Amino acid sequence: MDAAAQIQRKETGDEAQVRNHWNVEEAKALYDRPFADLMLQAQRAHRKHFDPNHVETASLLSIKTGGCPEDCGYCSQSVHYETRLKATRLMHCADVVATARRAKDAGATRFCMAAAWRTPKDRDLDSVCDMVNAVKGLGMETCVTLGMLTPNQATRLAEAGLDFYNHNVDTSPEFYSKIITTRSLQDRIDTLAHVRDAGIKICCGGIIGMGEHVEDRLGMLVLLANLPGHPESVPINLWNKIEGVPVEDTAEPPDPIALVRLVATARIMMSRSVVRLSAGRQYMSDELQALCFLAGANSIFIGDVLLTTKDPKVDRDADLLARLGITSGITGGKQCAQYVAPTSSLGEKCR
């Protein structure tokens, strides 16, 4: 029996559902299967744990933009690069909640708040805890991404009612140092452990299209699948072009079929995780997105804006999902979350 067939056999048993001892050769054997076989296997895994005709809709807001001391070579928000992005202070809690309410009205079930920090300061964390508490009060799932956390900070977020923490490994262990030097992969893994220990669910994935090889993309999936528990959410970002950052010189958009294969491989390796087609949908045709949903992607960000780059308009997403017979929280017709400029330098209490 060849390696891919053996993995297929394991997939039918319970072992594959929580398997965390993958290697890149096994991932490659899946990835390289004939397309129809790979898609069937991914569909089987998908249908075992999810409604294949439903896509989760999340919304993203940059609550503190730019001025970040980290040197992530793909990011518009790093102080190390000339990206012409205007840095802002932490948003006012009331503005964050108003944006979350609009996102909910437009059909988002999860609200993700992102801050361009290496790690949050205690005073800022107080404000974010208030935001989490207030957004949770709207009946939405909450997610934040704030950089590295100590165990105590993770516990405080859990106590505020946080559902998910987003912290990406970004790429393979081999490619990592070509992209970021100011914090190590181990730093990220440590933060993920603090988040998990605090009882918060993990949203962890990475970026493709930065000039990495297929083996790096698979190495990233292996890294994610071999974490002590599979991340509950796995965002797969296609690099959104930013002028003035180092990745601009190395970037190579993946072949569309390679993207579909990667999504299918992620679906099989982490069959219980929600796989999000994250940044980069602005570049994808409807047909490519449809293939990604068929391969097992079952979450998207809705709204015209991600953090500092574009996302497809809600109307286009509503139309695509309707044509595919996919249900989601999108109600259609209404304006979705937009970035709201901060009106104050300090977060205010708004319980």
Query: What residues are annotated to the active site?
Result: 68, 72, 75, 112, 143, 203, 276
Taking alpha carbons only, the member of 64, 159, 144 closest to residue 110 is 144
Partners of 274 in the β-ladder? 233
- Per CB under 6 A, 309 contacts ligand DTB: yes
DSSP assignments along 6-43, one per residue: HHHHHHTSGGGGG-----HHHHHHHHTS-HHHHHHHHH
DSSP assignments along 276-329, one per residue: EE-TTGGG--HHHHHHHHHHT--EEE-SSBSSSSB---HHHHHHHHHHHT-B-S
Q: Per-residue string for binding with ligand SF4, 110-129, x by CB under 6 A?
A: ------x-------------
What residue ranges bind ligand SAM (CB under 6 A)?
A: 68, 74-75, 114, 116-117, 145, 147, 167-168, 170, 206-207, 237, 239-240, 242, 279, 307
- Per CB under 6 A, 75 contacts ligand SF4: yes
Q: Measure Cα distances from 187 to 17, 25, 150, 230, 337 in Å.
A: 27, 26, 11, 18, 32
In this complex, which beta carbon is closest to ligand SF4, that of residue 116 or of residue 238?
A: 116
In this complex, which beta carbon is closest to ligand DTB, that of residue 16 or of residue 245?
A: 245
89 phi, psi to nearest 5 deg: -90, 175
In this complex, which beta carbon is closest to ligand SAM, that of residue 22 or of residue 81?
A: 81
In this complex, which beta carbon is closest to ligand SAM, that of residue 168 or of residue 299?
A: 168
**Interacting span for ligand SF4 (CB under 6 A) from 66-74, 84-92, 232-240, 279-287:** 66-74
DSSP assignments along 111-144, one per residue: EEEEE--SS--HHHHHHHHHHHHHHHTTT-EEEE
In this complex, which beta carbon is closest to ligand DTB, that of residue 4 or of residue 274?
A: 274
CA-to-CA distance for 181 and 177, rounded, in angstroms?
Answer: 6
Q: Among ligand DTB, ligand SAM, ligand SF4, none, what binds residue 317 when CB lies within 5 to 8 Å by partner kind?
A: none
Residues 213-252 that bind ligand SF4 (CB under 6 A): none
Taking alpha carbons only, the member of 330, 332, 309 closest to residue 57 is 330
In this complex, which beta carbon is closest to ligand DTB, that of residue 41 or of residue 76?
A: 76
* CA torsion through residues 209, 213, 214, 220, sign: negative
- Per CB under 6 A, 58 contacts ligand DTB: no
Residues touching ligand SF4, count (CB under 6 A): 8
Enter the tokens of residue 291.
């293939």
Label residues 337-346 b or e (16+ Cβ within 10 Å = b): bebbebeeee
The only residue of 41, 57, 59, 78 in contact with ligand SF4, by rule CB under 6 A: 78
- Per CB under 6 A, 99 contacts ligand DTB: no
Q: Per-residue string for binding with ligand SF4, 128-157, x by CB under 6 A?
A: -------------------x----------
Residues 216-255 that bind ligand DTB (CB under 6 A): 235, 237, 240
What residues have CB less than 8 Å from 256, skipping those under 6 apart?
A: 284, 285, 288, 291
Residues that bind ligand SF4 (CB under 6 A): 68, 70, 72, 75, 77-78, 116, 147
Residues that bind ligand DTB (CB under 6 A): 60, 76, 112, 114, 145, 166, 168, 205, 235, 237, 240, 278-279, 306-309
